[in-house]
Amino acid sequence: MKYKILIVDDEKLLIKGMKYTLEQDNYEIDEAYDGETAVLMATNNNYDIIILDLMLPKKDGFEVCKEIREFSNIPIIMLTAKGEDVSKIMGLEYGADDYMTKPFNVLELKARIKAILRRVKTDEKEINEITICDFTINTLGRKIKYKNKNINLTGKEFDLFVYLATNENTVFSREELFKKIWDYENYGDLRTVDVHIRRLREKIEKDSSRPSYIITKWGVGYYFKKD
């Protein structure tokens, strides 16, 4: 299967280099050089991943990410400038699954793409539905329902929820969750886990400030509570 990736950046030389390298691994690459074009292309095409720069003409990466999340849960890797910690966290808040800091090693980018695709693409020979508490998880469609109501999760939110829910009452540290869900050798910024936990709570809890399902074990980590 040939995976299709949209690269969004106004640096044409950077796109050219990424495109050449990724095409060597048999990825099909489309290009967009501004935010408006990126949203239009994401609307009209089925991409497996979007690599999205933060600083773009017409619409910045935050706006693009927010608009795409209104109609798609496609995995988004956001590119930020070195040292922009606030931008990294904001990118996750707007719905990005991951981020990389420029300049980056293209081999690391390829590793992250492969990690995302490994998790997103399930075995389509078997439909697997799991019921946990009042949640129904469809691992083929990568969808979750709460009392028959659809919950719109991004790729990483889905992976994180399923991992916690299928290991109920087991406490995982932020390091363990980062390594398991993001599948990297290096832990990187563990705030990524905290942001995704917060977003998950906002979507699945009646009161995210007093969660009933995803619980914090202070000083240790997080767990899914199943009575």
The stretch 145-149 carries a mean pLDDT of 88
pLDDT computed for residue 124 by the predictor: 46
Angle between helices 85-93 and 191-204 (to 10 degrees): 30
Percent of the chain with pLDDT over 70: 90
Alpha carbon distance, N-terminus to C-terminus of the chain:
42
What pLDDT, on the 0 to 100 scale, is given for residue 84? Answer: 63
Distance CA 71, CA 30 (A): 19
Tell me what the mean pLDDT of segment 62-79 comes to: 90
- Strands in the chain per DSSP E: 4-8, 28-32, 49-53, 76-81, 98-102, 129-132, 135-138, 143-146, 149-151, 214-217, 221-224
| CB contact at 8 A, 192 and 182 | yes
Question: For residue 41, what pLDDT is reported?
Answer: 96
In contact, 39 and 68? CB cutoff 8 Å: yes
Domain ranges, ordered by start, for the chain: 4-120, 129-224
What is the pTM for the complete model shown?
Answer: 0.68
Q: What is the pLDDT of residue 188?
A: 60
> Is 82's pLDDT higher than 80?
no
Each residue's pLDDT tens digit, 86-140: 677 777 888 888 888 888 888 888 888 988 887 766 544 445 778 888 899 887 7
pLDDT for 120: 66
Q: Are 91 and 80 in contact (CB under 8 A)?
A: yes
Query: DSSP for 198-210?
Result: HHHHHHH-SSTTS
CATH for the stretch 4-120: 3.40.50.2300
- Which of the following CATH numbers is that of domain 129-224: 1.20.960.40, 1.10.10.10, 1.10.645.10, 3.30.1490.20? 1.10.10.10
Mean predicted confidence (pLDDT) in 69-87? 81
